[in-house]
Amino acid sequence: MWCRGKCEPNTCQWCDMTSVEQQDWRNEQYDADEVWRESVAKSIGNMSSKDVKSIQQRLRRSE
């Protein structure tokens, strides 16, 4: 989330960051997403197909 000039409380991490810090912060966010996706994929790999189907149905309902 980019800040243009002023910073709304609790909505913007960018205000006082240099562009290098912003890039680092985005990379950290991306790494966290990757780790989360990998752990989800691993846990799904350990599930029975019935479990996976029920999760898929729940996800579809929540969309």
What confidence tens digit (pLDDT) does each residue in 18-62 have? 666 767 777 777 777 787 878 877 777 777 778 778 878 888 887
* Rounded CA separation 55/43 (Å): 12
* Rounded CA separation 19/2 (Å): 11
Q: What are the residue boundaries of the structural domains of the chain, listed by start?
A: 2-61
pTM over 0.75: no
Say which residues have a Cβ less than 8 Å from residue 18's Cβ, sequence separation at least 6: none
